[in-house]
Amino acid sequence: MSEPVTVREVGPRDGLQLVGTVMPTQTKLNWITRQAAAGFKEIEVTSFVPPKLMPQFADAAEVTMSANAVPGLTASTLALNLKGGIRALQAGAQVVNFVLSASEAHNQSNVRCSTEASIRAFRGLLDWQWQNAPQTRVTVAIATSFGCSLQGDVPEAQVCAIAAQLAEAKAAEITLADTVGYANPHQVKRLFRAVAAEVGEVPLAAHFHDTRGMGLANVLAALDCGITKFDAALAGLGGCPFAPGATGNIATEDTVYMLENMGLRTGVDLDALLRLREDFAGWLPDEPLQGRLGTAGIARTFAPAA
């Protein structure tokens, strides 16, 4: 019996961030519904950022409410500050994933405050959630954990110290995110091991971008550290609008394919996922899609993990 791993689809959030055309709400919901039907248990469905800044997510509340009704799906949402987090919970979000940056420069660019102020906001959100929506989960992602295109190096000790504070505040999960595709497999092993030593029982997850081709190698390195939850975006879309040079996430279909080939059960129906990808290409005709499996197709020797 093979081990289970979780691939969390973040395409409807991270994948759409750099897409100029606003995707209609019904298309987003069609996407989310079909991807859930293909076996995805958790999808990051939207972002509670100010609609003026990101019109793509003006329908965040509606997407959240409708995604909650998809059978078997945990619909998670992103927030960057206390206000956004509360708005997400008030809209009925089951999971709010709060994002702050280990890089001060990126935190300023992305959230317009210091990392320390973001940590305070995260604590405030947990307090609010505890009093008003105790059945929900507040998770957190540490962006630019592996380096920053604005600031440069991000010391591992800094990431560890932040992770320790987030764990102490009772984050439900901590994701180490390689926002700009700087991470390499050695660094991934080093940082995940160091952070794991700081956070006790809090589960860790990994969020990699394939900007410099190391995305799936980094997944492999993280697996070696016992990480079993990975963010990915359909067709490798994605990228942070406030980090120069940021490009796509690891492609969901390639990630699932590698994991299944390695005998790790994702629960995903790859054929259904590739059919969705084909339709997806039609929904975003101006976006160059990434990922290799969509072009090459499944190998004739492939057997899903049993």
State which H helix or E strand residue 273 sits in.
helix 270-283
- Is 299 among the residues that bind its own copies (CB under 8 A)? yes
* Residue 251 found at the interface with its own copies (CB under 8 A): yes
According to the binding rule CB under 8 A, does residue 187 interact with its own copies?
A: yes
Residue corresponding to tokens 């980090």: 243
DSSP 21-79: SPPPHHHHHHHHHHHHHTT-SEEEEEE-S-TTT-GGGTTHHHHHHHHHTSTT-EEEEEE
Q: In this structure, are residues 136 and 96 in contact, taking their beta carbons and an 8 Å threshold?
A: yes
Token pair 């940056």 in the structure block, residue = 101
3-state secondary structure of 250: coil
Chain residues 252-291 in contact with its own copies, contact rule CB under 8 A: 254, 257-258, 261-263, 291
Q: Catalytic: which of 113, 148, 160, 240?
A: 240
Stretch that binds its own copies, among 4-12, 40-48, 180-188, 272-280 (CB under 8 A): 180-188
Stated length of the chain: 306
Quote the least distance from Cβ 219 to its own copies, whole Å. Answer: 7
Q: Does 58 bind its own copies (CB under 8 A)?
A: no
**Does residue number 5 form part of the binding site for its own copies (CB under 8 A)?**
no
Q: Is residue 186 involved in binding its own copies (CB under 8 A)?
A: yes
Q: How far is the CB of 207 from its own copies (least distance, A)?
A: 17
Our measurement of the distance from residue 170's CA atom to the centroid of its chain's CA atoms, rounded to an integer in Å, reads 19
Nearer of residues 84 and 291 to its own copies, judged by Cβ: 291
Q: Is 214 in the site for its own copies (CB under 8 A)?
A: yes
Whose tokens are 């160059």? That residue is 288
Structure tokens at 231: 């963010």
Candidates 19, 54, 113, 217: give the one binding its own copies (CB under 8 A): 217
301 scored as a contact of its own copies (CB under 8 A) = yes
Q: Is there binding between residue 221 and its own copies (CB under 8 A)?
A: yes
**CA distances (Å), 247 to each of 142, 194, 237, in order?**
17, 27, 8
- Please state the closest distance from residue 2 (CB atom) to its own copies, in A: 10
* 134 versus 213: smaller Cβ distance to its own copies: 213
Is 213 near its own copies (CB under 8 A)? yes
CA R_g for the chain = 18
- CA–CA separation, 291 and 254 (whole Å): 6
Count of residues touching its own copies (by CB under 8 A): 39
| Residue 293 interacting with its own copies (CB under 8 A) | yes
- Asked whether the beta carbons of 65 and 92 are under 8 A apart, the reply is yes
Q: Between residues 59 and 104, which has the closer beta carbon with respect to its own copies?
A: 104
For residue 128, what are its two tokens?
């609010």
Q: What region, left, alpha or beta, does residue 164 occupy, with left being phi > 0 and alpha being psi -120 to 50 degrees?
A: alpha
Q: Which of 11, 15, 84, 147 binds its own copies (CB under 8 A)?
A: 147
152 scored as a contact of its own copies (CB under 8 A): yes
DSSP lists the bridge partners of residue 75 as 43
Active site residue 240: yes
Tell me: does residue 216 bind its own copies (CB under 8 A). Answer: yes
Q: How many degrees, rounded to 5, is the angle at CA 91 between CA 87 and CA 95?
A: 85
Q: So which residues are the catalytic ones?
A: 240
Judged by the rule CB under 8 A, the positions of this chain that interact with its own copies are 147, 149, 152-153, 180-182, 184-187, 210-214, 216-217, 219-221, 245, 247, 251, 254, 257-258, 261-263, 291-293, 295-297, 299-301
